[in-house]
Each structure stands twice: as C-alpha cells, then as structure tokens.
Amino acid sequence: MRTGGSMSFDEEWASARRDAGVSMRLNQLADPGGGGGGGTDLTVSRDDLGAIGSDAYKLYNRLADDGDHARQTTHDASIALLNANYETGTALLKVNDVWADQLKTLMDACANISNHLDYSAASHKKEEDDIIVSLQASKINEYFK
C-alpha cells in the first residue's frame, strides 16, 4: 500500500484482492478456449443444494408448529387487559401482531429458499441432461458426414 497519498480505485481494488488472497474475474474468461479452469468458478453440488433446501423446509415446518403456539393465548390476554382498562392490553396486542408478521416473513423466506433450491437443482439437472443429449447428437451427426 502507498502511504502519504490517495490510491486510485484500481490500486485499492488490487490491494484488497491481494490482501484477501482472492482471485477474481469480471466479464472475462480465464481460459479463452472456453474451458473454464483456474479454480475461481463457483460450483455447488446438487447434494449441497438439497441439504440447504431440506434444512429450510424443516425450519419452515418447525416455525409453523412452534412459532405460533402462543398467539391465541397472547391475543386473549391482551383483550382481557383491554376490557379491564389496562393500557398494557394495547401494547401486548401490538407485540402479538408484530410477532405474527415477523413469523410470517421468516416462514415465507424459508419457503422461498426451499422452493428456489428445489427449482435450481431441477433446472440445472435438466440443463445438464439437455447438454448431454446435444453432445451425443452432435457425435452421431459426425458419422453421417
């Protein structure tokens, strides 16, 4: 790093990458021949996606079962407090509503993760199968030439 002056963005970026030990590629291929390589490609196996999706699904179910069990009791208590002219009834009702909203948001996020990973795994499998079929067909076409 330079001292006593400001570095350009490119110098700072290069320094940050070097300090982090990270190799990065933006809008370019490491191997112009199209072979990828270089070890900087992001890869995730279907097993990894499946495990994360499964965990998100399990968490969704646990939240559905355990996250809402006190809602009705809390609501009833807040109504009883309101009917007895206690101001805490309003606050408790608000806490109950915020909890329900936050729980729904978290459950939606878990469902989104699970569904997206299921879709991604299936989509990548279909793309892989299509590529294999395409390569096999091009190999067959060579024999007809």
Higher pLDDT, 21 or 16: 16
| Domain-located, residue 11 | no
Place of tokens 């067909």: 137
User: Global pTM?
Assistant: 0.52
| Domain-located, residue 102 | yes
- Which residues are within 8 A (CB) of 144 and not within 5 positions of it... i.e. 6 or more apart? none
How many domains does the chain contain in total?
1
Domain of residue 54 covers 48-144
pLDDT digits (tens, 9 = 90+) for 107-130: 999 988 888 876 666 676 777 777
Which amino acid is located at 50 in the chain? Answer: G
| Domain-located, residue 87 | yes
Give the confidence band of 15 by pLDDT, cuts at 50, 70, 90.
confident
**Mean pLDDT calculated for residue range 29-35:** 45
In sign, the C-alpha dihedral spanning 6, 10, 13, 19 is negative
| Domain-located, residue 112 | yes
Q: What is the largest CA-CA distance in the chain?
A: 91
| Domain-located, residue 42 | no
| Domain-located, residue 108 | yes
- DSSP 8-state code for residue 127: H
Task: Name the average pLDDT for the chain.
Answer: 76
| Domain-located, residue 7 | no
Place of tokens 């190799």: 23
Q: Measured between alpha carbons, how far apart are the two ends of the chain, in Å?
A: 60
CB 52 within 8 A of CB 119: no
